[in-house]
Each structure stands twice: as C-alpha cells, then as structure tokens.
Chains A and B, each alone.
Chain A
Amino acid sequence: MRTLDGKFDVSICLGLDDATLAGAPRKMILGSWERLREPDSVVIDKAGYQLLFPDQPLQLDRTLELNDHKATIVGISDASAPFASYPVMHARYSQAVNFVGSERTQLSFILVKPQAGVKTPELTKRIEDTTGLRARTSEQFQWDCVVYYLKHTGIPVNFGITIAIALIVGIVVAGQTFYIFTIENLKQFGALKAIGVTNWRITRMIVLQAVIVGAMGFSIGSGLCTVFFAITLQNMATRGMVLLWQNVVGTGVAIFVVIIIASLISIRRVLVLEPAAVFRG
C-alpha cells in the first residue's frame, strides 16, 4: 500500500460479503459503510490512516495505491487493533480480491454465525462438506489465531523466556531476601518457640508476612502496569497492547507461587530451629 506522496506500508485487507457487508467493524469514525459499494473503495482504520498521513486531519476521498490498484478512502473506522500494528482496511470481497491480485485459492475459510435453532457444529460441517472451505465461528476463529501464534511464531518462546526469567529472578530475590530476614530474626523466632509459640503459628506468621509483602508488590506492580497500558492505549501504534484481567489474575497467581516458595525456604529454617538456641550467645 502506498500513498501518493510516497509513504508505503504493509497492510491487512479484509474482504466483506459483497451483498451484506457482514463482518465490518461496528464503529465508524468518519464516512459510511454504504460507500463501500462504490468502485475501488476502502475503509481504513484510524491507526492506519495516522500512520499513512501523520499529523493530518481525518479526511475522506483520499487516494491510495494498493498493488498497483487505485483505492479511495470512503470511511475511517475504529477497528480492533491487530497484534501487529499494520493498517487494517476493509473492502468488499470482490474488491479485496482485486486488490490482492490473482491467487489460486482466494478463500480459505468462512466466518459463520448460525441462526436461532441451528447448531454450530452442524452448520460448519454442512458448509465444509458443501464447499470444502473451513467454516468457523468468531470464537473459534479467535482461538485459531491464538493457536497460530503459539504454534507457528517465536512469540511464545520470546515471551516465555522473559516470563521464566522474571519468575526465576523473583523467586531467587524474594527467597533470598526473606531468608536473610529469617536468619536475622532467628533469635526472635527461637524466643517465640521457647515461650511456647507453636511451629504452626510461626509458620502462619511467616506466610502472613510474605503474603502482605507480596500483596504490596503485586499492587504496586499492577498499578504501574495499568498506567503503562493506559499510556500505550493512547498511542495508535501500540493500542493493540491491552492488559486483560486474565493477565492480572495470572500475575497474581505467579506472585503467590513465588512468595510461597520463598516462605518455604525460610520456614524450613525456623522449623528445625531448636528453641534452646536462644540461650546461646
């Protein structure tokens, strides 16, 4: 895709059903979906527009070049941000095929939504049997995308290594800090054991301390993360990066595991401590 003043970029072009324009993003910022029926028309997302026309006001009827085909912007949408920050364009399917160029297979799957009373598996099977194309619901397609990134890209490895290192460093640092705290207070723990405080109670004390410290760290970390994502959300190029509640919960669970492991290292030291040690020097 190229603008008339020479800016070019890779873009994603999605074809909509010619008759119904089904599958279009719900929110339009400028223009109308109906104009997609005009020849050589496309709707571009706002992020893509700003990438191609930086610091320029939103304006319709601007012209682009798509694989040597002229395309006119007839609408600007607020489409969902893709994982990769490419401009997202929508056109009628017949138009999109024209933009992309001739390929042996023009269509590889169909997004479906069954009518009331029709079972999804039954519908998808019927379509697949009839057309040989894969029929997927929105949810299935969403998971197809997730699985694709997990199986066919280096993202899980890169992210996984980062997360693994963070967890290992977290366990080591938290464990060592907590262990040093325990060693420094061994006399006090010994005194408590001598006085008649049970191991179970001391264990609960240590775990409680770890949980409080972990909760504080989690709150601060999550807060900073939220601020970070709130900022990136304002940026068109990074607005695809979002903080899901599942991420927060997952992080919370990971931190809980870290503090439990860190506590166990310390607790073991206290449990084997002889209370008589409190009298030594």
Chain B
Amino acid sequence: MNSELAVQCRGVEKAFGNGGGKVLALRGVDLDVRYGEMTLLVGPSGCGKTTLLSVIAGLLNSTAGEVTVLGAQIEQLPGRQQILFRRQNLGFVFQQYNLLPALTAAENGAVPLLAAGVGRRKAIGEAKRLLSTLGLGDRVDALPKQLSGGEQQRVALTRALIHQPRLLVCDEPTAALDADTGQAVMELLAGEAVRPERAVIVVTHDNRIFGFADTMARMDDGRVVSVESEPNFGSEHVFVPHQGMKQEVRV
C-alpha cells in the first residue's frame, strides 16, 4: 500500500439481508484517501456513503473486497484488537453529536482518553485545553443541553481529536447546523483536524461545504463514480443533486 494513503478500498462490497431480500449497499468501491487531506464523500441519500464510512471505520465488515486502514487490514483484526485499533487511531464526529447528556463539555471531550486509561485529571485538563483552542474555553463545565448545536459539535470535535487520531471520520457534521454555524464548524475542522499525519473523511450532501474538500469522491448506487482532487468550486460550479435530494443550484 502506498505510504501516502491512509485508506485504500479495493472492490469493496457490502450486502444486507439474504436471498430475495438481499440489498447491495456497496457494489465494488475503489477509493484512496491520502494523509493530510480532507476527503469528502458526497452523493444522494441511500447511495452508500455512510455504509462505506462504517466499513472504513471498522464498524461494519464488508461482504467482499479489501479495506486497508492506516496500513492494517482492519477487518482481519480480532474483535478486541479492532476495538483497540479504533480507540487509538480513529476519531468520530457524528451528525447528532451524541454527547453524553450527564457529562460536562470537558468530560465529554475527555472520553477517548478516559477509555484509554488516562488519569481523569490529565484527561479533563487536556480536554479543557483543546476546548479552549476550539473557542469553548468558557463553556468547559456546561452540560450538552446548555450548549448550542454549533457548540455541541465543537465538543464532539474535541472528543474526536483529543487522542490525536490518524484518521478522522465525520458523518454529516453540518447537517444539524444552520449555514453560518456549519461554516464555522467546517473551518475549525479544516484548520484543526487536517494535519500531514492525519486523514479526514467527511460524509456529506451539504454542497455548501464542498469548498473545504481536498478530494471529493462522488458516490451513486453503491459505487464511487468520480473522484476529484482539489476540485474547483468556483461560481461556475453547479451542483446537480441526484434523485431523492432536494434540488439546490449554486451559481
């Protein structure tokens, strides 16, 4: 595997169900994700973006094909090692944040370190430092319900980055946010998360954030239909949604 590649998918297939009810969510996906880049997976709802993200993150096993993540055949790892692999190397940002409601912002941010056995004081201290970097220095003791959507997503970003993962996977990180807040979150993501030693994959169908992509992979019907490196999203770009998506045209 090329050392520049954080993720390499070759002929990846994923089927759900059996017999007549069998649904092919991925139909031979080939995809390369490079270190130091933000790769956007875009496409209409139901095209397989989230399934591919789950396979890459080791949350689902593919039916066929080969998935190499950070140099490891993640699907070949035994259950316990796969969990450890995710804990050490992957960061997650979810659409609905999924913060623990009873924990403060700092405690939520510190969860990956606490799960890895780091002392509570040190973990919380590190979370507070990172929250300050992300502009939430004065909200470290707030509960999730006391935070706005954008603030919660920044806490989720803290949780995703605090253990210095080499691969960050984000599922619709701006879907629950308004345009300005989504823009701010993506700016933070691009500014704080993208590092030479880290790859970032973002699943989205929010065309307002396409401009943040270093590479954009378009999916349709379980396949990657095109990959654009450093895509040009100037004023001439017209995003024509696929079937099932809300029609939006950017001029």
Q: Quick one: given A185-B101, A196-B88, are A279 and B111 in contact (CB under 8 Å)? A: no
- The stretch from B50-58, B135-143, B180-188, B213-221 touching chain A is B50-58
Cα distance, A269 to B84, chains bound together (Å): 22
Interface string of A238-281 (1 = CB under 8 A from B): 00000000000000000000000000000000000011101110
B100→A194 contact, CB < 8 A: no
Do B59 and A274 touch (CB < 8 A)?
yes
Find chain A residues with CB under 8 A from B86 CB. Answer: 194-196
Chain A residue with minimal CB distance to B99? Answer: A188
Residues of A within 8 A of B57 (CB): 194
| B59 & A279 in contact (Cβ 8 Å cutoff) | yes
A126 to chain B, nearest CB (A): 69
Contacts of A191 in B (CB 8 A): 92, 94, 98
A190–B98 CB distance below 8 A: yes
B binding-site residues for A, Cβ under 8 Å: 50, 53-54, 57, 59-60, 80, 83-88, 90, 92, 94-96, 98-101, 111-112, 115-116, 159, 171
In the complex, which residue of chain A has the Cβ closest to the Cβ of B57?
A: A194
User: Which 5 interchain pairs have the tightest Cβ spacing?
Assistant: A196-B87, A191-B98, A276-B59, A276-B54, A196-B86
Instruction: Give the size category of A's interface with B.
Output: 10 to 19
Closest to A197 in B: B115
CA distance A261 to B210 in the complex (A): 50
Report A-chain residues with C-beta under 8 Å of the C-beta of B59. Answer: 194, 274-276, 278-279
Question: A198 within 8 Å of B by Cβ?
Answer: yes
A278: B residues at CB distance < 8 A: 59, 92, 94, 98
CB distance from A17 to the nearest CB of B (A): 67
What are the interface flags for A95-129 relative to B under an 8 Å C-beta threshold, 1 for contact and 0 otherwise? Answer: 00000000000000000000000000000000000
Question: In the complex, which residues of chain B have a beta carbon less than 8 angstroms from the beta carbon of A197?
Answer: 87, 111, 115
Per the bound structure, the CA–CA distance linking A278 and B83 in Å amounts to: 15
Residues of A within 8 A of B85 (CB): 196
Give CA–CA (A188, B155) in the complex, Å.
14
